[in-house]
Amino acid sequence: MGERTRADLQYRQRLPLDIKIAMTRSRIREWINWYGEEGVYVSFSGGKDSTVLLDIVRKDYPGVPAVFADIPTQYPELKQFAKTFENLVIVKPEINFFQVCEKYGFPFFGKEISDCIHDARSFLTKVEAKSNAATDRQTDSVKSAYALADLLGIERRHKDPKRLEEYQLLKTGVIPSEVLENAPVRVKQVYGVLKHKSKGVESNEYSKMYDKSQYAYMVDAPFSVSGMCCKVMKKAPLHKYGKKAGRVPITAQTAEESRLRTSKWIQHGCNAFDAKNPISNPMSFWTEQDVLKYIKENDLPICSVYGKVVSDAEEMGQTSLADFGIEGAEVQEKLHCTGCQRTGCELCAFGAHMPGDRRFVDLKKTHPQMYRALDVAKNSGYTMRQALEWVNAQGKQHFDF
């Protein structure tokens, strides 16, 4: 197949659901024809997306096992729901959420953002380590200013104030873009100095798409953030199972969930035969509405935390367009869940800073014992609650808890 583009993905995302189902079945068939039914498994979280995937897979291949990662900080209802399925394998992480937070950092903002922040902090720490007495002799507001100045040849002792201008900027946290020329890509993203590329050619403009400079204040946060949580607690035990069992995964990941997943689709398509760790994402081109429509049309049971799948009109008790027998009316009416809109780890703060996100407020009502874990999870002496408060105050974010 030729090179895939975002336009190709958008075209597929606009296709009718019945065509998407046929395409998904075709992608699954290709995957199983290559690896065999005994060489694959469905990564099953108990969420609505993977429930739809498992339903589609088992209509053609009933013997494919579903593998569930039992993470204690997930909604307990997910495990209860998963156990209603036959041929279920349950795997467990080697360390818990609190240990992940202490070792790597809190799961804030999103995987891409938290990884950029983590890499920027690591970069500055390494830079600082190259100046032997930096910590003992440094008293500036920015811990790494002394080391950065010495490493980069920035004047910090000259009598002429104009010659000290760059050092003064360093002390207040303003790092000149030229200082970051040889820094890793994620570090440049944090400081907003990653050059824009058009068809692989670098321009003189900075990329707006990958600009994470609004999170630059997190470089000096008194605690760490990281995107390692899902990797350590979910992906690692699933990967361990796959390696031991000699099976490769089929997952319900969709490209619309993140820019990273969109990039992965452009690179590999739905079936990543050529990836380091082969993976099939046969629903990549599905949308949230597709998933909800499939559930509703097939009367498919889903985990109780979601409630029911309804249209806005149904929830308000109003007559819907479909009630008038208008063909295609169900497509026009947006569907949603009456309960949780998302599941997974209850304490995950990825995306929780977005306006209108009330996951922690809802968690306090529905699972108060788990909510209290905000005061238990720690990193560098800060509890998760204290870290959220710090981010809201320093970064003017909107974590609602």
> DSSP letter string over 196-255?
EEETTEEEEEEPSTT--GGGGGGGG-SS-B-SHHHIIIIIHHHHHHHHHHT-EEE----G
- CATH 3.40.50.620 range(s) for the chain read 6-99+228-299
Distance CA 359, CA 342 (A): 9
Instruction: Please tell me whether residue 43 adopts helix, strand or coil conformation.
Output: strand
CATH T-level fold of 6-99+228-299: Rossmann fold (3.40.50)
One digit per residue, pLDDT tens: the chain, 401 residues?
557 899 999 999 999 999 999 999 999 999 999 999 999 999 999 999 999 999 999 999 999 999 999 999 999 999 999 999 999 999 999 999 999 999 999 999 998 899 999 988 888 777 666 544 444 444 444 445 555 566 555 666 666 665 566 666 665 555 555 556 667 788 888 877 777 777 667 777 777 878 888 898 998 899 999 999 999 999 999 999 999 999 999 999 999 988 788 988 999 999 999 999 999 999 999 999 999 999 999 999 999 999 999 998 887 765 555 555 555 545 468 999 999 888 878 899 999 999 889 999 999 999 999 999 999 999 999 999 999 999 999 988 889 99
Tokens of 87: 């041929």
Q: What is the pLDDT of residue 141?
A: 42
Q: What is the DSSP secondary structure assignment for residue 373, as one 8-state letter?
A: G
Distance CA 56, CA 40 (A): 15
The C-alpha atoms of residue 132 and residue 243 are separated, in whole angstroms, by 44
CA gyration radius, the chain: 24
Q: Provide the pLDDT for residue 122.
A: 86
Give dist(CA 41, CA 171) in Å, integer: 53
Per-residue model confidence (pLDDT) at position 142: 45
Which H or E run contains 17? helix 17-35
pTM: 0.80
CB-count burial class (<10 Å; 0-12, 13-18, 19+) for 14: exposed
pLDDT score recorded for residue 315: 74
CA distances to 68, 150, 231, 241, 293 from 342, in Å = 17, 48, 19, 26, 16
Burial of 235 (0-12, 13-18, 19+ CB in 10 A): middle
Which two tokens mark 34?
Answer: 């290559």
